[in-house]
Each structure stands twice: as C-alpha cells, then as structure tokens.
Amino acid sequence: MATKTFEVEPGGGTAVVEAPAKPKRRNAPRYHVILHNDDLHTYEYVITMLMQLFFKSAEQAYQHAREVDSMGVTIVETTTLERAELKRDQIKAYGKDPLVTESPGSMYATIEPADE
C-alpha cells in the first residue's frame, strides 16, 4: 500500500496514513465476430448489412465485403462475449438477399476468442 504523510495541524505533528490500493481493472475477454463467405449473397447485401448492424461506413463495409469474398472470412468486430453473440445472431437473422433468387437466407457468422 502507498503511504502518505501529512501535517495534522500547522506547527503540530505529522501522521502517516496508508492509502487504499487502487483495485486492478480486469478487461473482459474479447471475441471476434467472423462473417463467412458464400456465393449466395451480393456485395450490396453485405455492405448494407454491415452498415446497418455494425454502423460501418460504406468504405469500411466494402473492404469487409472484398475480404470475405477473397479470403473466405472477415472479422467484422472484436468485442465482449455478450455483444459478439448478439451481433452473430443479428447476422444470422438478417434475412435473404433480395437480389439473389437462390439466396436461402442470411449469411453465416461465428464468434471465437481473440488472441490477446
């Protein structure tokens, strides 16, 4: 514990007081929300979904759309477990792509622990 010395009265004695230690803050574990590619959704769908669900700018959403198309996956957010689960579920519930008649429904998303 840290100690602090202070004067009790002007011209009087001094006292040594132990200040309570500040509690250490623990950060909640972080999780990635991962969007998986398929050939049944358009760039427009991905961009619109990311802008609506994750408040991405059009440019950020486009970059994620390119990454998921070329790499097969993209990390759209890294957050707490509770929020990651919510965002994964929102992606899964977003609905089918209206521009693709064969679109069976929403895109697939997973969560995984972020390596820190």
Q: What is the pTM of this model?
A: 0.77
With bands split at pLDDT 50, 70 and 90, how would you rate the model's confidence at 22?
confident
The mean per-residue pLDDT over the stretch 14-26 comes to: 72
Domain membership of residue 5 (yes or no) is: no
Instruction: Give the per-residue pLDDT at 116.
Output: 61
- By CB neighbour count within 10 A (0-12 exposed, 13-18 middle, 19+ buried), where does 45 fall? buried
Please give the residue range of the domain that contains residue 83: 30-113
How many Å apart are CA 17 and CA 4, to the nearest integer?
5
Q: Report the distance separating Cα 101 and Cα 58, nearest Å.
A: 24
In-domain check, residue 1: no
**Is residue 99 a part of any domain in this protein?**
yes
The phi, psi pair for 102, rounded to 5°, reads -85, 0
Q: How far apart are CA 105 and CA 77, in angstroms?
A: 22
Domain count, the chain: 1
Q: Answer yes or no: is 13 within a domain.
A: no
CATH code of the domain covering residue 34:
3.30.1390.10
**Lowest mean pLDDT, pick from 3-12, 58-67, 77-86:** 3-12
pLDDT per residue as tens digits for the range 41-52? 999 999 999 999
User: 41: exposed, middle or buried (C-beta count within 10 Å: 0-12, 13-18, 19+)?
Assistant: buried
